[in-house]
Each structure stands twice: as structure tokens, then as C-alpha cells.
């Protein structure tokens, strides 16, 4: 499909107030869309369905599904991101002193609890409301596509839920048949032109908590677990620390739902121990995160597997095969859009090393990822 036809089809869907999601995976050019045929609100409880899921931070709330069987699927391979656009840049930005004061207070409160208890880390966040000059979601989506090649970029809409857009650097889990990979991403500093930077103990420790937690949560369900070295990766105007964890699922009976909720929410978005950090977040953040720090992506899709190279297996070489594929991303660097108002969601990991002023600055830098396309 041409990109004009692709975007026109989605625009029609939006004007008819029917659910859809459009997205591009990291470092790919293919745009994909699920366009639901009815306005029904589908959810999944057991994660056995096929389609696109949108799951909130608080797993007590429902995961929304755009089912493959109730959707038209469209694709566009020829989209050329063209727009050079610099929306709200740092210079236009007037610091909101009240927001700063309350975020710093929240951080100080979290830090005090960490120092006085067995909690090691709490991820604390805030929501920023912004008036948007042009609130056409597909225009904003195109700007995100142009600016953030290495992110998972999406625009998701359901008339009964709302409109969300984002460009997230974090994969929650990729599952291809029995092979899985998971990303532990945490620690932030500004990108100043080089990946060759040094990291303080604060960031190294907060990222290590995420890796250790993931390994601990999945080790009984997997074979040959492998853990990469910690790498510095660039995400928009920021650098993060990343570890890749991969391996093979054991052949015993496997529940995708149990696997996911064993992981989610990881200490990259919640904290450690999970339940205590979650309770602090629910009691003290003064807004509802909704889908920010939840996860989203393709669920149980059939994907073609590369043909085997073995000389003996001529049949497989010729045809390859298909396998079940699930690719889920953590919903970071995102916003919800209502009429001409955007809510931008940003947070950061708090440990005993945290400085409230620096944590505020980190959320300001993270907010620029979205503000620069508005
Ligand atoms: C919670 C967010 O980022 C997470 C992912 C990478 C780095 C993070 C950090 O340095 O705190 C956070 O754990 C956010 O962007 O709102």
C-alpha cells in the first residue's frame, strides 16, 4: 500500500471513531496497522488471543486487545519520513515551579522511605499537561517516525479509552517460538554527542537491580539463560544502560500470561521489591498512570521463521516455517491526546543515591522527546 493510501485509510478509521493501532518496530521501515471493524471494547485475560494488546501499568486493570480476527491489517513499506520539525524546544520551555516543587517532594519522600526500609528502588513519575497547536494524531505520529528511527513508534486509538502515541526505547519481551529475549533498561544521562561516557554508581546500581530481578523471575521457566554485558545505548536525546537477557523456554507447560505478569512491572518502571514500590506509587503519585509504564505490542502472531541452512534439510530450506511470535514494548516516552491537550508522562528510578533536583531535570529531558514533536 502507498503511504498516502495507508494514512488515508487510518484517517478514515479515526473519523469513523473505530479502534486502530499503527506502529513501526525499532530500526525497521515497515509500517503496520490493525483497524478494528467494530467499536467493541475487547480485553484479554489469559493472553491466548491473537492481535495487538495495550496493557496498563496497574495489572488489576484490564488489558485491551485489538483482535486480529476482528481487524483489517494493512502495511506500508514505502513511507519516507520527510519532516524536519522542531516543536517545543528547550528555549520555549518555561519551568513550572509548582510541578517542580511537588515532583522534588515526591522524590524526597521516596528516597526517605528507601533509606528507612528494605525498599531499594522506586520509579516515580509525573504527568505534564500541554496545549497542542495542531492535534492531528497522524501528523504527530509521522513526526515521531521521522525523529525516532530506533524506537518502537505507535499511535493507538479506541473511542472508549482514548488516544495514545509514543516512541519507546524499551522492549519488554520478544518471544519467537521457544526463544525469548528481554531488555533491562535503566539509568539515564543526556546525550552530548558521544556514546563513550562514564556512569555513576547510582545509574549502574539502578540498572543492575533490573537485570537481577529479571533473571531471578524467569530462571525457573527457562533453559540456557544468557546475559549480555551492560551497554550504553542512545534513545533520542538521552543515553541509557542496557542489558540483554535471552534463552529458551523450558518444554514444560507454559503460560504466557504468568510469564508476563511475573516480569511486569519490572524495576525499570516500578521498583524493588515490586509490591512495596507499587503500593508507594499508587498511594503517593497524585495522578493515574493509566497506560504509561504498561506494555503494548503484537500478541501470538504467526511469523515466518528463516529457512534452515542445513544441507540435509532441503525441505525446510526451501519453505522455512511459521511460529508463534509475541513482541511487547514498555510504554515509555508517551502521551495521551484529548482534543487539543496532550498529557506527557515521565519518570525515573529513585534510589538512596538520588538527588531530587537531578531527578526533576531527568524528567524534563525525558519530556522533550514528546514535546519536540508537538
Ligand atoms: C520511567 C522511565 O524510564 C525508565 C527507562 C529508562 C531509564 C529510566 C531511568 O533512568 O530512571 C527508567 O527506568 C520514563 O522514561 O518515564
User: Which CATH number belongs to the domain containing residue 104 in this structure?
Assistant: 3.60.120.10
In terms of Cα–Cα distance, which of 297, 332, 303, 322 is closest to 47?
297
* Ligand 1 neighbours (beta carbon < 6 A): 123, 125, 170, 185-188, 240, 268-269, 332-333, 346-349, 366
Residues 6+ apart with CB under 8 A from 58: 278, 282, 289
Kindly tell me if the per-residue pLDDT of 317 is higher than 80.
no
- Note whether residue 323 is domain-resident: no
Q: What is the pLDDT of residue 322?
A: 84
Chain Cα centroid distance, residue 237? 17
Percentage, residues of the chain above pLDDT 70? 93
Residue scoring higher pLDDT (87 or 169)? 169
- Note whether residue 334 is domain-resident: yes
Give the mutation target among 107, 329, 332, 371 for probing the ligand 1 site: most ligand atoms within 8 A of CB.
332
Kindly tell me the burial class for residue 111, based on how many C-beta atoms sit within 10 Å of its own C-beta (0-12, 13-18, 19 or more): buried
Mean pLDDT for the stretch of residues 229-247? 97
- Note whether residue 64 is domain-resident: yes
For the chain, give the mean pLDDT.
93
- Note whether residue 222 is domain-resident: yes
Q: What is the pLDDT of residue 90?
A: 54
Q: What is the pLDDT of residue 80?
A: 76
Q: Are 331 and 175 in contact (CB under 8 A)?
A: no
Q: What is the pLDDT of residues 263-273, one digit of tens each?
A: 999 999 999 99
**Cα 188 to middle of ligand 1, angstroms:** 7
Helix ranges restricted to H, 67-200 = 97-116, 137-147
Q: What is the pLDDT of residue 135?
A: 87
Q: What is the pLDDT of residue 91?
A: 45
**E-state strands within 18-114:** 20-24, 31-36, 42-44, 51-55, 63-67, 71-76
Q: What is the pLDDT of residue 288?
A: 97
Q: What is the pLDDT of residue 78?
A: 78
Question: What is the position in ligand 1's atom list of the atom closest to the CA of 330?
Answer: 5
**Cα 52 to middle of ligand 1, angstroms:** 24
| Residue span of the structural domain in which 161 resides | 3-306+328-371
Question: What is the position in ligand 1's atom list of the atom closest to the CA of 347?
Answer: 16
In three-state secondary structure terms, 5 is helix
149/261 Cα distance (integer angstroms): 29
49/43 Cα distance (integer angstroms): 9
- Note whether residue 314 is domain-resident: no
Kindly tell me if the per-residue pLDDT of 278 is higher than 90.
yes
Q: Are 74 and 6 in contact (CB under 8 A)?
A: yes
Kindly tell me if the per-residue pLDDT of 345 is higher than 70.
yes
For residue 365 the three cell numbers come to 529531558
> How many domains are contained in the chain?
1
- Note whether residue 321 is domain-resident: no
Q: Are 123 and 348 in contact (CB under 8 A)?
A: yes
In three-state secondary structure terms, 67 is strand
Give the mutation target among 231, 349, 366 for probing the ligand 1 site: most ligand atoms within 8 A of CB.
349
- Note whether residue 48 is domain-resident: yes
- Note whether residue 262 is domain-resident: yes
Q: What is the pLDDT of residue 89?
A: 57
For residue 109 the three cell numbers come to 519522600
For residue 302 the three cell numbers come to 504467526
**Cα 34 to middle of ligand 1, angstroms:** 28
Percentage, residues of the chain above pLDDT 90? 86
166/85 Cα distance (integer angstroms): 16
Kindly tell me if the per-residue pLDDT of 346 is higher than 50.
yes
Q: Are 127 and 343 in contact (CB under 8 A)?
A: yes
Give the mutation target among 123, 209, 291, 367 for probing the ligand 1 site: most ligand atoms within 8 A of CB.
123
Amino acid at each position: 500500500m502507498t503511504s498516502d493510501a495507508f494514512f488515508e485509510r487510518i484517517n478514515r478509521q479515526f473519523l469513523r471513531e473505530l479502534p486502530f493501532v499503527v506502529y513501526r518496530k525499532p530500526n525497521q521501515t515497515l509500517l503496520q496497522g490493525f483497524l478494528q471493524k467494530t467499536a467493541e471494547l475487547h480485553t484479554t485475560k489469559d493472553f491466548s488471543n491473537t492481535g495487538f494488546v495495550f496493557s496498563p501499568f496497574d495489572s488489576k486493570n484490564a488489558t485491551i486487545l485489538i483482535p486480529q480476527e476482528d481487524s483489517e491489517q494493512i502495511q506500508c513499506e514505502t513511507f519516507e519520513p520527510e519532516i524536519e520539525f522542531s516543536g517545543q524546544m528547550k528555549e520555549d520551555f518555561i519551568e513550572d515551579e509548582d510541578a517542580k516543587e511537588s515532583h522534588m517532594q515526591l522524590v524526597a519522600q521516596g528516597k526517605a522511605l528507601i533509606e528507612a526500609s528494605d525498599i531499594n528502588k522506586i520509579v516515580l513519575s509525573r504527568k505534564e499537561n500541554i496545549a497542542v497547536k495542531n492535534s492531528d494524531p497522524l501528523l504527530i505520529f509521522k513526526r515521531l517516525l521521522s525523529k525516532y528511527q530506533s524506537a518502537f513508534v505507535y499511535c493507538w486509538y479506541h473511542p472508549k479509552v482514548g488516544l495514545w502515541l509514543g516512541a519507546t526505547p524499551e522492549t519488554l519481551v520478544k518471544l519467537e517460538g521457544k526463544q525469548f529475549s528481554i531488555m533491562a533498561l535503566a539509568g539515564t544521562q543526556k546525550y552530548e554527542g558521544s556514546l563513550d561516557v562514564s556512569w555513576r554508581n547510582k545509574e549502574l546500581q539502578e540498572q543492575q537491580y533490573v537485570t537481577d530481578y529479571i533473571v531471578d523471575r524467569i530462571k525457573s521457566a527457562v533453559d540456557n539463560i544468557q546475559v549480555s554485558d551492560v551497554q550504553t545505548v542512545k534513545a533520542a536525546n538521552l543515553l541509557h544502560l542496557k542489558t540483554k537477557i535471552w534463552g529458551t523456554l523450558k518444554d514444560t507447560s507454559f503460560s504466557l500470561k504468568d510469564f508476563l505478569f511475573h516480569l511486569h512491572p519490572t524495576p525499570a518502571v516500578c521498583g524493588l521489591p515490586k509490591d512495596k514500590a507499587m503500593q508507594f506509587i499508587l498511594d503517593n503519585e497524585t495522578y493515574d498512570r493509566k497506560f504509561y509504564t504498561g506494555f503494548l505490542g503484537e500478541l501470538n502472531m504467526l511469523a515466518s521463521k528463516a529457512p534452515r541452512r542445513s544441507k540435509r534439510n532441503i525441505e525446510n530450506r526451501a519453505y522455512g516455517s511459521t511460529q508463534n511470535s509475541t513482541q511487547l514494548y514498555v510504554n515509555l516516552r508517551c502521551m495521551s491526546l484529548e482534543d487539543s491537550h496532550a498529557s506527557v508522562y515521565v519518570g525515573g528510578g529513585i534510589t538512596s543515591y538520588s538527588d531530587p533536583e537531578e531527578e526533576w531535570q531527568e524528567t524534563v529531558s525525558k519530556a522533550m522527546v514528546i514535546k519536540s514533536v508537538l
